[in-house]
Amino acid sequence: MIDQYTALDLAVFALYIVILLATGYVFNRRARTTNDYFLGGNTMPIWTVSISVLATSQSAATFLGGPDQGYRGDLTYLASNIAGLIAAIFVAKFLLPRFYTLKAFTVYELLGSRFGDNAKYQAGVVYLFGRLFASGARLFMAAIAVSMILFGDVAPSSVIIAIGIITCVGFFYTVYGGIRTVIYSDVVQCLVYVSAALLVLWHLFHAIPLSTSEMLEVLQNPGPGEASKLTFIDFSLDFSSAGVFNIWSILTGFVLLNIAGFGLDQDITQRMLTCKNAKSASKALMSSIAMGVPVVLAFICIGLLLFIYYQRPDIMAQAANGAPVPEFKGQTVTIFMYYVLTTLPSGIKAVVTIGIVAAALSTLNSGLNSMSSVAVQDIYRGWLKKGVPLSEDKLVAVGRWSMGGVAIALASVALLCYYWQQYSDTPLLAFALSVMVFSYSGLLGVYFTAIFSNRGNPASIVAALITGFAVPVLMQPYVQSIYLPAAWQFDLAFTWQLVIGTAISTLVCLSRKK
């Protein structure tokens, strides 16, 4: 598919590469201390942190998952921002002040101060395992886009090459400057991919021969017996994966998911810890949620318009003027990239392609630095080399080497996620969110115990973390088939898996006295 790009497209690509190299040179100041490398010296401006949190929590998952959600479903995912706001208030009140009081490098130092160092190491290991799957899933989505750009398909060999390319570029861009480079590059990448989304929306809007009111009417009544694609809040009491975005799921599982994402997941929380104090970090978090609403809406609207573009040939025939009516040929997960590569004009196609690359790099860079910080501060420094004097230069060097190991691990998990998603045929957005459940359940149980009780000890923490991982695993369809008769197997949305896993792991952690 790369041969579809014109000289104008290639010129736009060249300009982007120059901008990327220039920003990398300006912001990639060589970090000399671990505070610089992992926390940016606690001097990062609120607005940059806010955009970085937005980019980290969305990026490739939203770039491809948003259009996929709009094409297959409706607007109900937008209502999850209600859960995001509730979770942000919780994190700002109960977690961020404690992290800053401890002058923490990682969020797991709170457990170390409450239960002893072993708890910090155990939580760090669970985070690394869970984040591998979460970031690996996003890397897989980014690889789908790059695979389509380079080869025009999502065959295993194509996806493997795309994963390798993204991993190498992201690693070399991030390895020297640390979190400061990641945050500023997130700002650049976010601006690029949001601009790309707006260009696609503009082009789709003008390609469909309907007025705005007529488009809304079509989406309100997409077909006989089909639910409106403009549904914002779903009040149905559906506990299956089909009801994952209903209001009951949002007010329970999504609240827990966002508490874990904003306050217990080093990938996002690390950005807030680069602010001057807890108040500034809270402002950055709230701002990112506010900015996220229109951004997510834009990507979902792309999917809604693609539904009209490809699923309503009777409408598109009015604009064809004798030309072939648009027809989609491919897997549903490639719907957005198919449109970009086969329909968009030169120049715009290049900008959107760059937006995809930007989202991919933002996805990878965030995971590399956050996982490296946990590996160094909680595992290497606190556990393997406990009590051994280590220079700052040595720790930064170890951080860079660990980042290389993380990059290889993420690439491997991304390939696993490719086969996993193909097997389950889960919509991309739901897939990206669901893989977090395995590590979040146990962490939530342990942190709720640490914050709201005087109970819990090292033994119950280990048991809670293991339980939090095991419970959601046992509820997966492909695992149920091993231990349950077919008549007893069930389909439960990942949000309810998180609720049950968190409840059980909390009880396990509370079961032992301090």
Q: What structural domains and CATH numbers belong to the chain?
A: 2-425 (1.20.1730.10), 436-514 (no CATH)
Statement: residue 507 has pLDDT above 90? yes
28 and 36 Cβ atoms separated by less than 8 Å: no
Q: How far apart are CA 317 and CA 326, in angstroms?
A: 8
Greater confidence (152 vs 302) lies with: 302
Please list the alpha-helical segments (H only) found in 236-385: 247-249, 255-259, 266-272, 278-311, 313-320, 335-343, 348-374
Q: Hey, what's the torsion of the CAs at 10, 11, 15, 17, to 10 degrees?
A: 20
**Rg of the chain (C-alpha set):** 23
163 contact partners, CB below 8 Å, separation of at least 6: 139, 140, 143, 411, 414, 415
The distance of Cα 394 from the centroid of its chain, to the nearest Å, equals 31
pLDDT at 171: 78
Least confident of 248-257, 386-395, 435-444, 468-477: 386-395
Mean pLDDT of the chain: 84
Q: How far apart are CA 194 and CA 197, in angstroms?
A: 5
pLDDT band for position 431 (cuts 50, 70, 90): confident
419-430: average pLDDT: 71
Q: Is the pTM of this model over 0.75?
A: yes
471 and 504 Cβ atoms separated by less than 8 Å: yes
334 contact partners, CB below 8 Å, separation of at least 6: 144, 148, 154
In which region does residue 135 sit, left (phi positive, over 0), alpha (psi from -120 to 50) or beta (all else)?
alpha
Q: What is the 3-state secondary structure (H, E, C) of 385-400?
A: CCCCCCCHHHHHHHHH
Q: Which of 139-153, 398-412, 418-432, 460-474 has the highest mean pLDDT?
A: 460-474
Q: How far apart are CA 32 and CA 1, in angstroms?
A: 43
Quickly tell me which residue has 């946990």 as its tokens: 374
pLDDT at 111: 82
The distance of Cα 73 from the centroid of its chain, to the nearest Å, equals 19
pLDDT band for position 168 (cuts 50, 70, 90): confident
Q: How far apart are CA 317 and CA 329, in angstroms?
A: 18
Q: What is the pLDDT of residues 327-345, one digit of tens each?
A: 887 666 678 888 888 888 8
